[in-house]
Amino acid sequence: MAKKAYRKVAGGVVAARGFRCAGASGGLKTRPGALDVGIIVSDTPAVAAAMFTTNKFQAASVVLNREKIKERLTRGIVVNAGNANACTGRRGMADARRMTALAAKLAGVPAKTFLNASTGIIGRPLPMEKIEKGIRLAAASLGNTAKHGDDFSNAIMTTDTVKKTVAVEFMIGKTPVRIGGSCKGSGMIAPNMATMLCFLTTDAAISKPMLQKALQEAVGRTFNCITVDGDCSTNDTVAILANGAAGNVKITQLGAGWRAFRDALAHVAAELARKIVLDGEGATRFVEVRVVGAKTTSDAERVATKIANSPLVKCAINGGDPNWGRIVCAAGYAGAVVKPELTRLWINGVKLFAGGMPAKVTPSRLAACMKPKEIFIRLDLGIGKGEKRVWTCDFSREYVAINADYHT
Amino acid sequence: MAKKAYRKVAGGVVAARGFRCAGASGGLKTRPGALDVGIIVSDTPAVAAAMFTTNKFQAASVVLNREKIKERLTRGIVVNAGNANACTGRRGMADARRMTALAAKLAGVPAKTFLNASTGIIGRPLPMEKIEKGIRLAAASLGNTAKHGDDFSNAIMTTDTVKKTVAVEFMIGKTPVRIGGSCKGSGMIAPNMATMLCFLTTDAAISKPMLQKALQEAVGRTFNCITVDGDCSTNDTVAILANGAAGNVKITQLGAGWRAFRDALAHVAAELARKIVLDGEGATRFVEVRVVGAKTTSDAERVATKIANSPLVKCAINGGDPNWGRIVCAAGYAGAVVKPELTRLWINGVKLFAGGMPAKVTPSRLAACMKPKEIFIRLDLGIGKGEKRVWTCDFSREYVAINADYHT
């Protein structure tokens, strides 16, 4: 995928033409007045694509969306934070349907054209009175200013400490096209499981199959680097609406136009993924683990994941401590083909381990390599061509505080 | 395995007749005078059995012991804390050999009859001057009092906050026999990887093959419940010496005598494993995760491990928070066959989830189930007969503090 500079624009999910959104407070979050219900509406029928969690316990919204995403046209998405509506059985399904039906009705579009998503505590029924209050308030305040985009972003946050929104403009042929997005998520880039939601909008004219293909490639290279291997929550969802308002020649097959779109989408997704990592619960450092030379891609994934998820590695990075033995050790128990004498390790470009023993490095270089706020770990297994890149963050006292005190 | 009451006796690794031990300070630990080298010697030739880490990066001591354990007779073990002598290449192997040769020489026995073990930082050469100083001091102070046993236990500790030692007396036929042990380990029962070392001694008369079989069964039901599925360090070692000083009819085949021995050994191992869990770095609670009804044993292991290793679950337990959704969610991404509608969850006997939705439980019972210092999680997948029990602890701010500040 070519690296390009994209022109950033304001507005997040309403940067693209023909979209309105809002965030409102239904009272699901405990802080009075906190925004917790968000709505996105496309002024004209759009096509949608989405990817969902692979967790066996799927939230009601995910079950519902898997059906609704098959519809030819989509008009909007309604989201709540504070309650995941997961593990809630038949009642949860009915609540999810009521939630989308109300949002669709207030937006004046058919219920079947509305998607929904939820994030928050698992196993509690949705407080429908609060949900409905939030939906009514949000539907009454839809708009397309930057403030509207920010409100939507704020409404989908849980333990996130900052809202996460990006939008860019780029050219498809001679037509300027926009893609914008907003996401929430922090914990899951730590070892696992807190919900990641991402909502993208574009005014590109593109067919539904081409949109789905672009989304899959963009997510595979970005969000899937942070939500690793099925260690995902009950609610994880990435969805995109494309309404064609830009007026470009419609993308209906692979080619230059599709690639330009996919690259821009991957860029937006990468920016959002990076924001999630940097907002990891209690995170103080950004960490990239790149495993190369593995026998297979799945071996590379196993090793990269074990390193990225090792609390001991993450604590060492938090302490700024070049305790590379923990990295090598994590590689050793990943269940991959690993030969100590062929394995080489670098942290921020400093070679630390090769030939089965520590590399020669001065104590000052050793200490310095773990000091930056961005840590690049490169592990070459020296066996084959399998590669995997994973992004993560360090593990801090604050992570525990956040997750021990996030009470049900 | 029958549950029996065993008579506890003092002395740890020197509770059994015919063993001497010592702990001394070589200066490997930074605190002046801290014990960091330990030796166990059998007065007469003993047979030995051992189990080692499956990590691909094996410490020099592990590589060496895998050879030495094949010897017919064993006389002793020398251990150091503060340096793991792992990822140290040829020099590490030579150092491990020098360490055992010196200890054996000072004990007046052949080098090939001495085992060794190391624990501490990975990737640093052993400071041989300190090691040798510690070995000389320890060898000069061997004895069989409870104080000697305590010194040995203290000498093998790293981030452990308490020494861990157990010894029992039981009957084989009409002969009283003793098994004692000492272990170190804390971090690995958290998600993974800190070293677990366990040294056991017995005065039972038993053949080497019968000893190995008893050790494997005892470890499989105890230590393997805490060091799960290959998530083990470069140095993990469990070793036992049996010198026959009790004078029982020698155990050379399966039968009542062997079962009595194996049960007692499993009891000692369980007590030690429990002490490790309770001394988990920063741990405040003991947690048992029992998965039943899985399609296969390996499915049960996957699910139990994911739950036990989930930082979100462990943080919730630390906070005394009955956030059972995190447990169910972890089961959902374990890669096992899981059917939400068949899955049932109990915490400390309170049913929380069944039939795809929350069980009816009063808020006070819900809150109360997560309050005890011992948390028993039971997850029935309702599919097959696969079972697995895993012991772990909660995850606290102190865990991060310990591991961020444990500097190289």
pLDDT in tens, A178-216: 999 999 986 544 444 467 899 999 999 999 999 999 999
User: With 90 as the cut, is the pLDDT of residue A2 above it?
Assistant: no
Q: Report how far residue A148's alpha carbon sits from residue A143's, in angstroms, rounded to the nearest whole number.
A: 6
**Category of A24 on φ-ψ map: left (φ > 0), alpha (ψ -120 to 50) or beta:** beta
* Alpha-carbon distances of B391 from A300, A343, B289, rounded to whole Å: 29, 33, 6
Q: Which of A323, A326, A397 sits opposite B401 (nearest CB)?
A: A397
Q: Report how far residue A34's alpha carbon sits from residue A26's, in angstroms, rounded to the nearest whole number.
A: 8
Q: Which of B89, B232, B403 sits opposite A356 (nearest CB)?
A: B89
Distance between B64 CA and the closest CA of chain A, angstroms: 16
The secondary structure of A115-184 as a DSSP string is EEEEEEESSS---HHHHHHHHHHHHTT-B-SHHHHHHHHHHT-SS-SS-EEEEEEEEETTEEEEEEEEEE
Q: Report the pLDDT value the prediction gives residue B402, as an integer from 0 to 100.
A: 67
Inter-chain touch A357–B191, beta carbons under 8 Å: no
φ and ψ at residue B27, rounded to 5 degrees: 95, 15
Q: Which residues pair with A312 in a beta bridge?
A: none
Structural contact between residues A224 and A264, judged by C-beta atoms closer than 8 angstroms: no
Q: Report the pLDDT value the prediction gives residue B315, as an integer from 0 to 100.
A: 81
* Interval A69-112: pLDDT, tens: 999 999 999 999 999 999 999 999 999 999 999 999 999 999 99
Inter-chain touch A91–B318, beta carbons under 8 Å: no
Residues of A in contact with B356 (CB under 8 A): 87, 89-90
User: With 70 as the cut, is the pLDDT of residue A406 above it?
Assistant: no
Q: Report the pLDDT value the prediction gives residue A265, as an integer from 0 to 100.
A: 97
Inter-chain touch B87–A338, beta carbons under 8 Å: no
Q: Report the pLDDT value the prediction gives residue A53, as an integer from 0 to 100.
A: 87
φ and ψ at residue A15, rounded to 5 degrees: -70, -40
Cα end-to-end span (Å), chain A = 43
* Alpha-carbon distances of B133 from B104, B114, B164, rounded to whole Å: 14, 18, 25
Inter-chain touch A56–B91, beta carbons under 8 Å: no
* Interval B24-60: pLDDT, tens: 999 999 899 999 999 999 999 999 999 998 889 999 9
Tokens representing A328? 């090598």
Tokens representing A55? 């967790």
Nearest chain B residue to A332 by CA: give it. B56
Q: Report the pLDDT value the prediction gives residue A172, as an integer from 0 to 100.
A: 96
Inter-chain touch B319–A404, beta carbons under 8 Å: yes
By DSSP bridging, strand A344-347 and strand A374-380 are antiparallel
Structural contact between residues A342 and A383, judged by C-beta atoms closer than 8 angstroms: yes
What percent of chain A clears pLDDT 90, i.e. is strictly above it?
Answer: 71
* Alpha-carbon distances of A78 from A35, A38, A114, A118, B353, rounded to whole Å: 13, 6, 7, 9, 28
Structural contact between residues B212 and B206, judged by C-beta atoms closer than 8 angstroms: no
Structural contact between residues B278 and B286, judged by C-beta atoms closer than 8 angstroms: yes
Question: Which residue in A53, A62, A63, A87 has the most chain B C-beta atoms within 10 A of its own C-beta, making it the best mutation to test that interface?
Answer: A87
Q: Which of B91, B234, B357 sits opposite A88 (nearest CB)?
A: B357
Neighbours of A173 (CB within 10 A): 10
Torsion over CA of B229, B230, B232 and B234, rounded to 10 degrees? 170
* Interval A349-391: pLDDT, tens: 999 999 999 999 999 999 899 999 899 999 999 999 999 988 8
Residues of B in contact with A315 (CB under 8 A): 399-400, 402-404
Q: Report how far residue B17's alpha carbon sits from residue B30's, in angstroms, rounded to the nearest whole number.
A: 34
In sequence order, the 6+-apart residues with CB closer than 8 A to the CB of A96 are A60, A61, A63, A64, A85, A116, A118, A126
How many residue contacts between A and B have a Cβ separation below 8 Å?
A: 232
- CA within 13 Å, CB half, A312: 31
Residues of chain B with pLDDT under 50: 1-2, 188-193, 228-230, 408
Nearest CA to A152 out of A188, A180, A187 is that of A180
Three-state SS at A213? helix
Q: Report the pLDDT value the prediction gives residue B398, as an integer from 0 to 100.
A: 73
Residues of A in contact with B191 (CB under 8 A): 191, 309-312
Q: Report the pLDDT value the prediction gives residue A405, as an integer from 0 to 100.
A: 64
Residues of A in contact with B397 (CB under 8 A): 397, 400-401, 404
Q: What is the ipTM of this complex?
A: 0.79
Structural contact between residues A267 and A2, judged by C-beta atoms closer than 8 angstroms: no
Inter-chain touch A403–B121, beta carbons under 8 Å: no
Q: Report the pLDDT value the prediction gives residue B397, as an integer from 0 to 100.
A: 74
Nearest chain B residue to A234 by CA: give it. B329
The secondary structure of B3-18 as a DSSP string is ----EE-S-GGGSSTT
In sequence order, the 6+-apart residues with CB closer than 8 A to the CB of B220 are none
In sequence order, the 6+-apart residues with CB closer than 8 A to the CB of A258 are A206, A210, A213, A214, A251
Q: Report the pLDDT value the prediction gives residue B393, as an integer from 0 to 100.
A: 85
Q: Report how far residue A151's alpha carbon sits from residue A4's, in angstroms, rounded to the nearest whole number.
A: 29
| 3-class DSSP string for B231-273 | CCCCCCEEEEEECCCCCCCCECCCCHHHHHHHHHHHHHHHHHH
Q: Report the pLDDT value the prediction gives residue A161, as an integer from 0 to 100.
A: 85
Residues of A in contact with B339 (CB under 8 A): 56
Residues of A in contact with B123 (CB under 8 A): 324-325, 328, 352-353, 357-358
Residue appearing with tokens 């080692």: B52
Q: Which of B91, B329, B395 sits opposite A233 (nearest CB)?
A: B329
Domains, chain B, with CATH or none: 7-278 (3.60.70.12), 286-405 (3.10.20.340)
Torsional sign, CA B225, B230, B233, B238: positive
With residue B151 as reference, give the H or E element that holds it. Answer: helix B146-155
Torsional sign, CA A112, A118, A124, A127: negative
| DSSP label of A303 | H
